[in-house]
Amino acid sequence: MTLGVLPYVLALVLTFIGLYVVVAKKNIIKIILGVIMLEHAVNLFLLLLGYRSGGTAPIRSPGDTVSAEAFAAGSVDPLPQALILTSIVIGLGCLALMVSLALRLHEKFGTFDMTRIRELRG
């Protein structure tokens, strides 16, 4: 395995670990942590997609003499970075909602275990 593929493999492993935690665990707090891991894995993958070795920031000055094609070929793509920032804000809102729902469930049922909550419906 080359060193250039390693970050993609790590993002994939992080995705699978987060997915396993969401699917297999019964504790609500662990499920929330799995969702956070999935969000971070997606953000890492988007960051890797926008990376360009030796790339520069996509900011053009009025006095630049470089052509638009050469400038675009040498700069990184800003769209994944904007998507990551948006994803972080949305993820924070979802995290706050999940934690508040988990706390309300704990107030009502006295546990974070999903199997016990299903047994104690009412």
State whether residue 75 is helix, strand or coil.
Answer: strand
pLDDT < 50: residue spans in the chain? none
pLDDT, residue 122, reads 59
pLDDT, residue 32, reads 97
pLDDT, residue 36, reads 96
Asked whether the beta carbons of 31 and 99 are under 8 A apart, the reply is no
Q: Where do the structural domains in the chain lie, given as residue ranges?
A: 6-52+68-119
* Distance in angstroms (rounded) separating the CA atoms of residues 26 and 57: 44
65, two tokens: 């003499």
Kindly report the pTM of this predicted structure: 0.84
pLDDT, residue 1, reads 59
* Distance in angstroms (rounded) separating the CA atoms of residues 71 and 84: 23
Q: Which pLDDT tens digit goes with each residue over 66-82? A: 787 887 778 888 888 89
115, two tokens: 């199997």
Pick among 1.10.3860.10, 1.10.287.3510, 3.40.50.1000, 3.40.630.30: CATH of 6-52+68-119: 1.10.287.3510
97, two tokens: 């909602």
Residue type, position 100, single letter: S
